[in-house]
A and B are shown apart, each in its own frame.
Chain A
């Protein structure tokens, strides 16, 4: 009986019968025939949803978002419209037929070509489907790690090459990096909301010459080009101390953005806000620490940083201002006093006023003091489990050093007991054997 019912269900599906009066007699038939039989539905339906509407309307159903939804940014991952005619050529179809005058010449040599059935091409369908699958899929822009900016495939932080040459002046050795890339709107009386792309870029030759500019255009590419070329026209010269860092620590401010910048030794790197880091890379500064206080608007950060760089004093200026020798004491050269700059006339010790700022860093920060928060011990160090962990780990404290020493001395890990118990030695991974292909 159940088998019978299943076959009925199938039958209902097969016959595209939707009308009720058609269905009734079939069901009534079931009662009559108790043995399994194939029932053939007679009704057909020649109009459907698919052939009533034009293709455009059908596509719209799956590709469109309402206007209100679009404004909210919906429907970004919806399907794209596909051109189903692509790859199809007139005269070439599923049945591989040769049509003289359409898909073949009428006369070949002296003979008249006849209509002909060629063997079926099994690849054709596959190719068509492949072509359709390719269409409409969203392209994923995966950037190589070298090209990548600050985040994913976003523009900020990415390099867009040197400014375009002007006549014979080429910007050799220059590189431009995007700092900000955003959409801005403007209200117009007759057009309404006008949308444009705004970019903020910085360009430089990595050797103390750099400039920054904004560029706006409807087209993002045009905006980038505009900004890049404008930045190339606004170059500034910046002193780099010993080719790697800033001349001295300094404080700088633009609007509500305050930056404390400090000089660092070689090998320290750029420890700062990513916008400052990008600017430094373009200028050619390699080591620096900067703390941004207040607003982190990137345009303001860049402007404040450039201002600070331009306001740096040379060591000679500082020495002249103080009327004292400026002397460097470095651990690298055993604290040998290295005179960086000497004034024309040096003051005596009794001429220095008692409240004068004599600390170099204080002098550079113009009497300001950087707020350094007290570092509290990490929370887990107060737990009992941390103490237990430390106790458990204590015997490992010189393990790596000992292992290195043993390997250098004996070529393996061993102890005074190794000779007595040769089987007790750490497992060694045997070296990989070279296959003939590798060779």
Chain B
């Protein structure tokens, strides 16, 4: 219905091109809104880069090396025969250690920082140059060894204004002169909301997040839009397992905790009997929001109960899950006692 209306608009007002029409449609269809770490709000960076928080996030990632070193969709068509080696115990330990180091590199969580401020610094205004040229000029310092963010890129407008280039132009110029492998000059269509939705429905989360990491800088509003929508979709569909043992799980956990939306994750952890991870998640919550549930000291559900009473939004299901967890624990204890009695150990 909505599409037809929009199509009518396009027909009646020919100034709207089909491209704009696509934007209309894309804005309409997706059920999620972007939730950014906005630059006027609290800065997540000092929390995120804290080593304690990093180790908590790493614990939550639940590293399974088989999944870390999984077969990836790299699009590499060349077949390669594996090599086989005879190794002694020491050599094997060394190789495993090396792989472990590599795994920490592969699992490095993409940085969580605020969205950058727009650039609007005017360097000089020279009305004498007005009308000299019909197009803008972009000047880029292409000397080597300068960071992307610190490279000097300026624009001479047709009206004679000399100003610093805005972020879009900066990224294009950087990519033009110093291309990053896998990054495209134009934002790939898959990040438009319609295509994004289709990818999310197909649960291609890892592909989406990986490509977002390559395409965007972490302080880009587009990056935060794509990732936040993906995280919300994962949270709503309880697809946490897909992201476990990948570099994105830490960012997901941080996102959910930062926006106080951890109830689904807690439920998932409780159902899979990972109570210690629930406590880790609550510790993270304490750190980010300056609240206290005593999560560091508790090794059972005590901290969780305090959390439910104080801060949870899904109180009913959480209480039920806690009860179910307790019952299961009790049953297991009884079974163990029964087995021990049967073996004559007590």
Q: Chain A: residues with CB nearer than 8 A to chain B?
A: 248, 263-268, 322, 324-337, 339-340, 346-349, 352, 358, 360-361, 363, 408-409
Contact = CB atoms under 8 A, between A and B. Distances in A.
B69 A347 contact: no
Nearest to B77: A267
Contacts of B96: 337
Given A324-B86, A360-B85, A334 B69 contact: yes
Contacts of A352: 88
B72 to A, nearest CB: 8
Interface of B: 65, 69-71, 79-92, 95-96, 99, 102, 106, 186, 189
A101 B71 CA distance: 89
B89 to A, nearest CB: 5
Contact of A267 (B65, B79, B99): B79
Given A324-B86, A325-B87, A334-B106, A265 B92 contact: no
A339 to B, nearest CB: 7
A339 B84 CA distance: 10
B71 A333 contact: yes
22 contacts: A263-B81, A265-B79, A265-B80, A265-B81, A266-B79, A267-B79, A326-B84, A326-B85, A327-B84, A327-B87, A328-B82, A330-B80, A333-B70, A334-B102, A334-B106, A337-B99, A347-B88, A348-B88, A348-B90, A349-B91, A363-B86, A409-B186
A322 B86 contact: yes
Contacts of A322: 86
A127 to B, nearest CB: 61
A327 B92 contact: yes
B83 A360 contact: yes
Contact of A264 (B65, B70, B81, B95): B81
B82 A349 contact: no
Contacts of A267: 79
Nearest to A289: B81
A268 B71 contact: no
Given A336-B65, A337-B95, A409-B186, A324 B82 contact: no
Contact of A324 (B81, B87, B189): B87
Main secondary structure, interface of A, reads loop
Contact of B86 (A329, A330, A358): A358
Contacts of A361: 84
Contacts of B89: 325, 346, 348
Q: Which of B69, B80, B84, B106 has the most CB of A within 10 A?
A: B84
Nearest to B100: A336
Given A264-B79, A333-B69, 11 more contacts: A324-B87, A324-B88, A325-B91, A327-B87, A327-B95, A334-B69, A337-B87, A346-B89, A348-B90, A349-B90, A352-B88
Given A337-B95, A337-B96, A349-B90, A329 B85 contact: yes
A267 B71 CA distance: 15
Contacts of B88: 324-325, 346-349, 352
Q: Which 7 A/B pairs are nearest by Cβ-Cβ distance?
A: A330-B82, A336-B69, A360-B84, A333-B69, A324-B86, A337-B95, A331-B80
A183 B89 CA distance: 60
Nearest to A336: B69
A268 B87 CA distance: 28
Nearest to B71: A332
A334 B67 CA distance: 11
A361 B83 CA distance: 9
A332 B78 CA distance: 11
A322 B85 CA distance: 11
A409 B188 CA distance: 9
B144 to A, nearest CB: 26
B83 A329 contact: yes
A366 to B, nearest CB: 15
Contacts of A264: 79, 81
Contacts of A265: 79-82
Contacts of B102: 334, 336
B284 to A, nearest CB: 29
A331 B65 CA distance: 15
Contact of B92 (A263, A339, A409): A339
B92 A328 contact: no
Nearest to A342: B92
Nearest to A268: B79
A263 B80 CA distance: 11
Contacts of B91: 325, 349
Nearest to B80: A331
Contacts of A337: 87, 92, 95-96, 99
A352 B86 CA distance: 11
Contact of A326 (B86, B99, B106): B86
A358 B88 CA distance: 11
Contacts of B84: 248, 326-329, 340, 360-361
A329 to B, nearest CB: 5
A325 B84 CA distance: 10
A266 B77 CA distance: 12
Nearest to B102: A334
Contacts of A325: 86-89, 91-92
A358 B85 CA distance: 8
Contacts of B189: 408
A324 B85 CA distance: 9
Nearest to A337: B95
Contacts of A363: 86
Contacts of B95: 327, 337
A329 B87 CA distance: 12
Nearest to B83: A329
A312 to B, nearest CB: 14
B301 to A, nearest CB: 37
Contacts of B70: 333
B93 to A, nearest CB: 10
A329 B96 CA distance: 11
A364 B181 CA distance: 40
Contacts of A408: 189
